[in-house]
Copies of this chain bind each other. A is one copy, B any other.
Amino acid sequence: MAGEQSAVDGRKVRGVRRKAQIIDATLTVVHRDGAAGVTHRTVAKEAGITASLTLYYFATLDDLLVAALTSVADAYTERIRTIIDSDEDKLLGLAELLAESAGPGRERALAERELSTLAARRPALRPVARRWRDNVAELARTQTDDQDAIETLVALSDGLCAAILLGDREADPAHLRTLLSNALSTH
């Protein structure tokens, strides 16, 4: 039983790892060449495998992009949930998350942002992008009941928006928290 299972699992694990590897390569390409640079071939080259193999795991480009976006959205969701479940200052938690996007994780955040921007054009990506936003909205709802304020907070938490607002300056979580708080109290 255990042997039988672990054998099957062994293959599955390999497949999962390949998928993860391909998704990683995809994000690297997005980061380097933009979302428009993502093709079966560029991703394969980046991953050091053949284009056919990316097709074996992701039949179409949409599949690949959805997987990549889902991957980053899931990671983001997990962090959001940690913030929601904690007893700390939730607004400060969000501010820290944003600060990271504008600081050390800036490049990665821009790549993520490119993907979610692409969602506006690729219908297949929309559900994932929506889910992403919903998660932030849920966090916002722990702070206020004002729908407008929630939307503002979601908008402010937008990675690119934050990156633009912050520019290359030091991202001070405390300062960011003030900004978010102001946004909430405006309504």
* A positions within 8 Å CB-CB of B: 33-34, 36, 117, 120-121, 148, 151-152, 155-156, 158, 160-161, 164-165, 167, 169, 182
Residues of B within 8 A of A158 (CB): 164
Q: Is chain A's interface secondary structure helix, strand, loop, or mixed overall?
A: helix
Question: Assuming the A-B contacts A36-B121, A121-B34, A161-B164, are A169 and B148 also in contact, with contact meaning beta carbons closer than 8 angstroms in the complex?
Answer: yes
Contact B148 A155 (CB under 8 A): no
Residues of B within 8 A of A155 (CB): 164-165, 167
Chain B residue nearest to A164 (CB atoms) is B155
Complex formed: what's the CA distance from A34 to B33 in Å? 17
Contact B160 A165 (CB under 8 A): no
Residues of B within 8 A of A33 (CB): 121
Chain B residue nearest to A120 (CB atoms) is B34
Q: Which of B34, B120, B161 contacts A161 (CB 8 A)?
A: B161
Contact B169 A165 (CB under 8 A): no
A148-B169, A151-B167, A151-B169 known; 19 new pairs, CB 8 Å cut-off, are A33-B121, A34-B120, A34-B121, A36-B36, A36-B121, A117-B117, A152-B165, A152-B167, A155-B164, A155-B165, A155-B167, A156-B165, A158-B164, A160-B160, A160-B161, A161-B161, A161-B164, A161-B165, A182-B182
